[in-house]
Structure 1
């Protein structure tokens, strides 16, 4: 999955020091997954002796992208919706999000019968959806 940097926002204290940076990320996988995220980078995420002002936009984006796979398994699924054709469920879209420790992620997943090999799509439940999305994410982000 190609990830794009959509924004970089600096949080600056009263003394003019950058205290954290928020990097906006967006990615899409062939209409199956869409990720939008705002990942907060803290001083503890930086190499020792490095400050935010030492880093380029590309370097900050790389740090945020590095944090993303660890956050993906903790997504909470808020809703899923079936799409029906001729009275038969043919696909579903699952909506998930995370608001944790300054990072915000939204993941929309479109799944079809091929994602559920052991049961018909019309009979899947919440845990089945989580498992199918986790499988796709593990292929795209091997550490997630």
Structure 2
């Protein structure tokens, strides 16, 4: 999935004017997923001796996207809905989100029968949907967190 940087917001400390944290807006869309995220980067996420002022937009974006694999397993699945054609379910969309210490993620996942090998799509339940989404997320976002 190609991700793009939608925004970068700096929060400055009123006492010193130094950057306290950065919120990086991320968007991506593939055949299976649409993701919108605002990820909070704090000083502890930076390499030792590095400040926010040392980092470019690209470096901040890399830091944020590297946090995705860490946060995605914590998504809350709020709803899913079937799409029916000729009275039979053909796909479903699962809606998930996360609010975690200033980071926010919404993920819409579109799944079809190929995502469920042991059941028909019309018989899948909540846990089946969660498992299918997590399997695909692990392929799209393998764990690779690094500091800038």
Superposed CA RMSD in Å reads 1.0
Q: Which of structures 1 and 2 has the larger relative contact order (alpha carbons within 8 angstroms, sep 6+)?
A: 2
1:26 corresponds in structure 2 to 27
Alignment of 1:11-90 (within 5 A): 11-14=11-14, 15-30=16-31, 32-90=32-90
How far apart in 1 are the matches of 2:116 and 2:103? 30
Return structure 1 stretches of 4+ with deviation > 2 angstroms: none
1:7-28 Cα deviation digits (max 9, x unpaired): 0000011121100000001111
Give unpaired runs (5+ residues) of structure 1. none
1:18-51 Cα deviation digits (max 9, x unpaired): 0000000111112x10111000000000111111
Q: Structure 2 length normalisation: TM-score? A: 0.94
Specify the SS of the correspondent of 1:118: coil
Q: Structure 1 length normalisation: TM-score? A: 0.96
